[in-house]
Chain A
Amino acid sequence: MSSLGVDNSSPTLLDVCNLSVKFGGLRAVNNVSFTLARGQISAIIGPNGAGKTTLINLLSGELTPDSGEVCHKGDVITGLPAHSIAARGIGRSYQIINIFPEFSCFRNCWLAARGRYGSGMEFFCPANHDEKSNIAAAESLEIVGLLDKAYLPASHLSYGEQRQLEISMLLALKPEVLLLDEPLAGLGMRESSDVLRLIKNLARDHAILLIEHDVEAVFAIANELTVMVNGEVLETGPPDRIKESGAVRHAYLGNGI
């Protein structure tokens, strides 16, 4: 029987090479390189201001790097606008909840699914006749357990549920690469473990880049850890090795580990 774990023959989906960006005199991200393959959860940890979110913004097209290259399945995607990158199947979630509060949960996910399955350039056919997007939206709500709240306005959800909706929208987009920016921020214990289980399940057929402050959670699910500080990669490797690296522990993990 073949194992369901990390498959070494799986293709690299994202290849990041010497990525750098400066904000004025500040090197927010400096010479960062890594690869991301299907079946892999790669986590980035580091103190505030280390450039983690900036890195995600560079990968998702919301920022353009000053130098370096991002390749998706062999195509250079550096400098492409955010909508083109999303359309290629690289989806991201946000650290700060970024949803459509006045729309229903279903509509939030429908917009994501529609962006993937067809354009919005259809003017006379009612939106709710688009079966494909309807099903994808419903499925993605079911995965995170929000299906029974599908027709509530997103603003009526609790904070934790809004985070789940955020992930649900990302799933409706059907990306291959998931860029998760602190998906556990502000969640309670139970919600956190739900989301972690979800991420672990998704890792089977997605490539996941995870930014997270919850170090214990990260060590539990990541295959690879990258420690960033001041925009630079300090150390990369499997969680066990990072754990043993004294310098990293002392500087960034505190005394708790």
Chain B
Amino acid sequence: MIVLPPRPILIALALMVVAFALIPMTGDKYWIKLITRMFALGIFAMSLDFLVGYTGLVSFGHAAFFGIAGYTLHLISPENQAPNLAWVLPVSVFASAIMALLIGALSVRTHGIYFIMVTLAFAQMLFFLFHDSNIAGGSDGAFIYNKPVFTILNWTVFDLGNRYALYFLSLLSMMTLYLLLTVVLASPFGAVIQGIKVNEHRMRALGYNTYYYKLISFVIAGAIGGYAGFLFACIDGFVSPELLGWRESGLALVMVILGGVGTLFGPVLGAITLLGAEEIFRDRSLVGPLANYWQVLMGVFVIIVVLFLRGGLGGQLLQFVRRKKEQGL
């Protein structure tokens, strides 16, 4: 099973990473924050693509895991002291994984539209749990006053309060998680879940207990979604119930579809494109008074991409490279 894209695309992605590595040299606070957000949401979209594009499970509640990790970070952080990344990150990701195990154990039994509805319902339950209770400030949300620092034996390696540190940690995480997922997708487990996506019934007749494979896939996606949520919560140092809501889940699906379902690198491009487009459409100097209606412009933009770029950005890139290769031969 070929999971890594062809070489020209890999080279283009590598160049993109180099460009991203150079951007902080401009020192522009706004850009650094925006791009860090692109990285975190890129990871989030990638984790959802693992479910949607490779396991065939369309989840409409993926934000649950995104938000749970952020809330966990808030709840376990001491008030007057910066926590050590070495334990708050694993604990937050673990919390998301456990939540994915619980939600997955019940929802993975269902199929198609029912799966979409069940995952949505679970995520909304969590949304209202945080929205209507006093946990972490209820509907107002809560601040994470001290962002995590990474220390080894009293030596502070980096401090996520520093925007450069957070930027590079996010970039590095995105690359590492991308490679990790490609490795998993090329493994026997990856072959089995892709088989389940194509023909689950047949996989069962071949002796696979598809329930457990889907559940594990759901937990992997939930844990990585949690990792993304952890980074995202560190950017603004703020968590609110909206992180768990259906809008966030829907946004992730839009990123996956925009970027290309089942391409893994595509959804990252989808996240970058979507946030980039939002910046452009909100900019008065670029779109004039239309900036007041930026959400309409976003809608038109997404519709155009989905209608005319079949397979999303990633799918188009793959097609383009394939066509060039055929012409070259």
Name A's B-contacting residues (CB within 8 A).
60, 62, 81-84, 86-87, 91-92, 98-103, 107, 110-112, 114-116, 118-128, 130, 169, 173
**A120-B213, A127-B1 as given contacts; A86 in contact with B207, CB under 8 Å:** yes
Asked if B201 and A130 make an inter-chain contact with CB atoms under 8 angstroms apart, the answer reads no
What B residues does A119 contact at CB under 8 A?
188, 208
Contact check, B187 vs A111: say whether CB atoms are below 8 A apart.
no
In the complex, the answer to whether A125 meets B204 with C-beta atoms within 8 Å is no
- Which A residues are in CB contact (< 8 Å) with B202? 98-100
Q: In whole angstroms, how far apart are the Cα atoms of A125 and B191 in the complex? A: 11
B189: Cβ under 8 A from any A Cβ: yes
Residues of A contacting B207 with CB < 8 Å? 83-84, 86-87, 115-116, 173
Distance (Å) between the CB of B284 and the closest chain A CB? 47
Q: Mark B254-283, 1 if CB is under 8 A from A, else 0.
A: 000000000000000000000000000000
Q: Are A98 and B199 in contact (CB under 8 A)?
A: yes
Is residue B9 contacting chain A, with contact meaning CB distance below 8 A? no
Q: Are B209 and A62 in contact (CB under 8 A)?
A: no
Q: How far is the CA of A101 from the CA of B194 in the complex (A)?
A: 12
Residues from chain B with a CB closer than 8 A to the CB of A116 are 207
With A100-B198, A100-B199, A127-B1 as contacts: A122 and B206 at CB distance below 8 Å: no
What interface size band does chain B fall in?
A: 20 to 34
In angstroms, Cα B193 to Cα A111, docked, is 11
Are A125 and B205 interface neighbours, CB within 8 A? no
Residue of B nearest to A169 (CB): B206
Chain B residue at smallest Cβ distance from A125: B187
From 165 to 196 in chain B, residues with beta carbon under 8 angstroms from any chain A beta carbon are 183-184, 186-195
Contact call B199/A99, Cβ cutoff below 8 A: yes
Cβ-defined contact, A98 with B208, below 8 A: no
Could you tell me if A107 and B208 are in contact, using CB atoms closer than 8 angstroms? Answer: no
B210 within 8 A of A: yes
Q: Please name 9 pairs of A and B residues whose Cβ atoms are closer than 8 Å in the assembled complex, sorted by A.
A: A81-B204, A99-B202, A111-B195, A114-B191, A122-B188, A123-B183, A123-B187, A127-B191, A128-B186
| A100 close to B206 (CB less than 8 A) | no
Q: Is the CB of B206 within 8 A of A111?
A: yes
- B198 lies within 8 A of A82 (CB): no
The residue of chain A having its C-beta at the shortest distance from the C-beta of B180 within the complex is: A124
| Complex Cα–Cα for A100 and B202 (A) | 8
Identify which of B192, B198, B204 contacts A120 (C-beta below 8 A). Answer: B192
Interchain nearest-CB distance for A62 vs B (Å): 7
Residues of A within 8 A of B216 (CB): 121
Task: Report the minimum CB–CB distance from B51 to chain A (whole Å).
Answer: 16
B298 on interface, CB distance cutoff 8 Å: no
User: Once the chains bind, are B206 and A121 in contact (CB under 8 Å)?
Assistant: no
Q: Which chain A residues border B183 with CB–CB below 8 Å?
A: 123-124, 126
Q: How far is the CA of A166 from the CA of B188 in the complex (A)?
A: 21
A80 to B187, CA, bound (A): 28
Nearest Cβ distance between residue A160 and chain B, in whole angstroms? 19
Q: Residue B184 contacts which of A81, A83, A124 (CB distance < 8 angstroms)?
A: A124
When the two chains form the complex, which single residue of B188, B195, B210 contacts A125, counting CB atoms closer than 8 Å?
B188
Residues in B neighbouring A114, C-beta threshold 8 A: 188, 191-192
A92 surroundings in chain B (CB, below 8 A) = 205
Closest to B198 in A: A100
B192 touches A111 (CB 8 A): yes
**B210:A83 contact, CB within 8 angstroms:** yes
| B116 proximal to A (CB < 8 A) | no
Q: What A residues does B195 contact at CB under 8 A? A: 100, 103, 111
Q: Which 9 A-B pairs have the closest CB atoms?
A: A120-B192, A86-B207, A115-B207, A87-B207, A115-B206, A122-B188, A127-B191, A120-B188, A82-B204
CA distance A87 to B203 in the complex (A): 11
**B205 pairs with A122, CB closer than 8 A:** no
Smallest CB–CB gap between B178 and chain A, Å? 15
CB <8 Å contact, B188 and A81: no
A173, B206: Cβ atoms closer than 8 Å: yes
Assess the B199–A83 pair: CB atoms within 8 A: no
In the bound complex, how far is the Cα of B189 from the Cα of A215, in angstroms?
Answer: 43
